Amino acid sequence: MLRAFIIVASIACFAVAGGDQCFAKDKKKKNKETSAQIVDMSKCTCQDMMNVNDEQLIKASLIWIDGYVSGKSGDTTVSLGELETLARNLESYCKSNPSTPILDAARRSKGR
């Protein structure tokens, strides 16, 4: 269960199934297959994150979120244990607060 949520929790908003405000296609690229997905993390919610089901993107998102929150606080370290703790804390927080912006949830989950 925890491993499954770490995968689900960490991608936040990179999945195609996420919220409309959170996602936008790169309109500069004309070929659909090479079109980059642009994610505005400031508009992603806990609910967006809970709807994600792409393991690779989930892992990348958790690392990005951790880096963003750590950068804001001046913490320059990376800890795999802290990433797992962040995922657990996000799972708990997001289940109870689905409309909370994911970056606010991450700050609270990291105690910042």
**Residue 102 to residue 97: CA distance in whole angstroms:** 10
- Per the listing, tokens 């970056």 go with 103
- The reported pLDDT for the residue numbered 106 is 92
Q: Is the pTM of this model over 0.75?
A: no
The whole-number average pLDDT for the span 81-106 is 92
**Residue 99 to residue 65: CA distance in whole angstroms:** 17
- The region, left, alpha or beta by phi > 0 then psi within -120 to 50, assigned to residue 65 is alpha
62-92 tens-digit pLDDT? 888 999 998 888 888 888 888 889 888 998 9
Q: Which amino acid is at 112?
A: R
30-62 tens-digit pLDDT? 545 444 567 788 889 999 888 877 777 778 888
- The reported pLDDT for the residue numbered 73 is 87
- The reported pLDDT for the residue numbered 109 is 86
